[in-house]
Chains A and B, each alone.
Chain A
Amino acid sequence: MSKVRVVPGLIPALVAGSVLVMVLACFLGSTELSPSRIMMAFIGLGDRADMLVIWHIRFPRTLAAFLVGAALGISGAAMQGLLRNPLAEPGVLGVSATAALGATFALYYGLVGLWPFILPISAILGALLATGVVAMMAFRTQSVVTLILVGVGLSSFAAALMSLLMNLAPNPFSLSDMINWMMGSVANRSFDDIGLAAPFILAGLALLLWQRRGLSALTLGEEAAAGLGLNLKLQRLSVILGAGLATGGAVALAGAIGFVGIVAPHIIRPWVGHDPARTLIPSGLMAGMILVLADIVVRLLPTAAEMKLGVIAAIIGAPAFAYIAAQRKGAVHD
C-alpha cells in the first residue's frame, strides 16, 4: 500500500533554506571576512572594501546562481509536465545549448554593442527555436527516446555552429570563452548583468506559474485533458514561451548549465503528491539552492583555474539523469 503524501510547509521550508544558503554563500569566499564585518557590510555600515566584496562580488554572484537555478528548475518542471516525461529539461533537450549559441552570436558579432538587451533577446530566440522544435516533435511522437535524440542533435548542432562562429568571428573568441558558455558560470556577474536577464526570466516564470494548473490536467493525457476543459494550444504555447524566456534569460546570465532542471523536480515530486503543478515553485527554490551550493563548492575548491559551475551541476546531475532514465524501464511511452 503506497500512500501519496504532500509534505506540509514545504515552500516555507525551502524559502528558509534558500535564504540560508544565500547568506552562507555571502559569508564564504577567498577573502576571509568575519561574520560581524559581513553583517555590517550587508546593512551598508562596513568599510568600503568589505562593502565592495559583499555588494559587488559575492551577493550578485549568489543572486545570479539562485535566479538561474530557479529559472532552470521551474522550466524543467514545466517541460516535464507538458511532455509528461521526467527527463525533459532545457539542457537535455538542447534548449540551453541553442540559447548559448544565440548569446555568443550576439556577443561576438558586435550586436550587443548596439543595445545591451540584444544579449538576452538572442539567447531567448535561440531557446525558443529549440523549444519549438522539441515541442513539435513531442506532439508528433510519444517516444522519449526520440525526444532526447532530438535534444542531443540540437546540442551537437549548436556546439558545432558555435565552433564555426569561433573561427569566423570578427573578434575571435577563445576556447575558454566557449567553455564558459557551454559549461556555464556565474563568476564576476554584476547587478547590471542580472538586470539585463531578470526581466525575461521573471516574465517567463510568471507565464509558467500562471498556466501551471493545466499541467496537472495533462497527467491524464492530452485528449483527456482537453476533455477536462484544458485549452491545449494555449497550454503548449505558454510552456514553450515561458520556458524559452526563462531558459534564454538564464543562459544569457550564466551560460548553459545542465541537469539541474531534472534533479530538482525529481527530488520535489514525491513531496507534492507527484502533481506537476505543485512541483513548479518548490523545484525553482530547490534548483536555486542547488546552484548556490554548487557555486560555493566551485569557489572553495582549491583549483588553479576556477571550476565552472556547470561542471559541478553535471557531475551531480548526469548520473542522476542516467539513474532516472534507468528507473523508467517499465514506463509508459518508451
Chain B
Amino acid sequence: MTKLNLRRVSVRTEDQALVKGADLDFGPGELVAILGANGAGKTTLLRAALGFIRPDSGEALLAQKPSYTLKPAERAQWVSYLPQTRPLAWPLSVFDVVALGRFAHGASLGRLLGPDQRAVDAALAACDITHLADRSTATLSGGELARTQLARAFAAQTPLLVADEPVAALDPRQQIRVMELLQGFVAQGGGALVVLHDIALAARYADRLVWMAEGEIIADGPVRQTLTPEILRRVYGVTAEVFDRAGHLNIHIEGAA
C-alpha cells in the first residue's frame, strides 16, 4: 500500500524554521485535512512530503522511499499534486488540461492512446465536466476550473492525491462539490491530503484533522478529538465555540483571543 510518512521532518530557511519536527502518516482510504493559520508551514510541509524540497532533518517517505530521491516520473505514479490554484499560462481546452494528468504515463496532447483516453473520459465524467471538454479554460468559472484541475489529478489514477487549498475562492456550493468529489475519490480507495481554511468544511468531510501552528503539528486526530476551543485558540489565536449541529461539528468564532 502506498503511504506517505514523515518522521521528524524539519525545513529551515537561513533565519527561520518553516517546519519543525513534523510526524505524519497518511495513506489510501482517508481524507485528511491540514489546518493552520497563514504562514503556519502547511505548504512547506506538503512540498517536503512530496520531495520538492529536501528536509533539513528527518525524513519524508513516499512508498517507503525518501521522496526527495524519487524521480519526478516515479513520484507522479504514486501521488497527484494540486498546488495552490494558479492561472494557466495558455488557454488550453478543458480536455487537454485533464489529459496533462496522463503526462507520467507518456501521453502527448492530441495523440492520446486508448488507456489515456479512457482515463481522461472517466475523470471528465466523474467531475461532471464532460460537456465542457472543448471549452477554453480561459472562459471557465472558478468552480468549473477547480473541477477541471481535480479531474486532471483524477486522470492520473494515482493512489494518493495532495491538494493545497483546492476550494480557495470558491462559493459554498462549489466548495461542497469539490469536497464531495474528494470524498468519492477516497470511497474508491484513494487517499486525499488537503489543506483547508474552512474549519466547518474540514470538520464535515475529513476523517482526520492535522493542526499546524508555527511550523509544528500540534494535533493530529479524528475531528471530534481535535476540533476544540483550545486548539482553535492555539492555532488561530481566536476564542471560539465548538458545537454539534445535525451530527457535524461547527464553530462560532467570538473574536481574537
Chain A residues within 8 Å of B, Cβ to Cβ: 1-6, 84-85, 213, 216-221, 223-224, 226-232, 269, 272-278, 332
Given that A220-B86, A224-B82, A231-B73 are contacting pairs, would A6 and B110 also be in contact in the complex, using a CB cutoff of 8 Å? yes
Instruction: Using A216-B103, A220-B152 as known contacts, list a sample of 17 further A-B pairs with CB atoms less than 8 Å apart, ordered by residue number in A.
Output: A3-B93, A213-B108, A219-B89, A220-B88, A224-B81, A227-B76, A227-B79, A227-B81, A228-B100, A228-B101, A229-B77, A230-B72, A231-B72, A232-B72, A273-B109, A274-B92, A278-B109
**Which 5 residue pairs of A and B lie closest in terms of their CB atoms, listed nearest first?**
A229-B76, A229-B104, A227-B81, A84-B89, A4-B93
Closest-CB distance, B158 to chain A (whole angstroms): 10
Answer yes or no: B243 CB below 8 A from chain A CBs.
Answer: no
- Tell me the complex Cα distance, A223–B79, Å: 14
Among B80, B87, B88, B96, the residue within 8 A (CB) of A273 is B96
Contact between B138 and A229, CB atoms less than 8 A apart: no
Contact between B88 and A219, CB atoms less than 8 A apart: yes
Answer yes or no: B71 CB below 8 A from chain A CBs.
Answer: yes
- Tell me the complex Cα distance, A220–B87, Å: 8
Q: What residues of B have a CB within 8 angstroms of the CB of A224 in the complex?
A: 81-83, 86
- SS class, residues of chain B in contact with chain A: mixed
Given that A217-B103, A228-B101, A230-B103 are contacting pairs, would A223 and B88 also be in contact in the complex, using a CB cutoff of 8 Å? no
Q: What residues of B have a CB within 8 angstroms of the CB of A272 in the complex?
A: 110
Among A227, A228, A232, A269, the residue within 8 A (CB) of B90 is A269
Closest-CB distance, A1 to chain B (whole angstroms): 7
Q: List 30 A-B contacts (CB under 8 A).
A: A1-B135, A3-B134, A4-B93, A4-B136, A5-B134, A216-B96, A216-B108, A217-B100, A217-B103, A218-B89, A219-B88, A219-B90, A219-B97, A220-B86, A220-B97, A224-B86, A227-B75, A227-B76, A227-B82, A228-B104, A229-B74, A230-B72, A231-B71, A231-B73, A274-B90, A274-B136, A275-B90, A275-B92, A275-B109, A278-B109
- Tell me the complex Cα distance, A6–B93, Å: 10
- Tell me the complex Cα distance, A2–B75, Å: 35
Chain B residues within 8 Å of A, Cβ to Cβ: 47, 50, 52, 71-77, 79-83, 86-93, 96-97, 100-101, 103-104, 108-110, 134-136, 138-139, 152, 156
Closest-CB distance, A327 to chain B (whole angstroms): 12
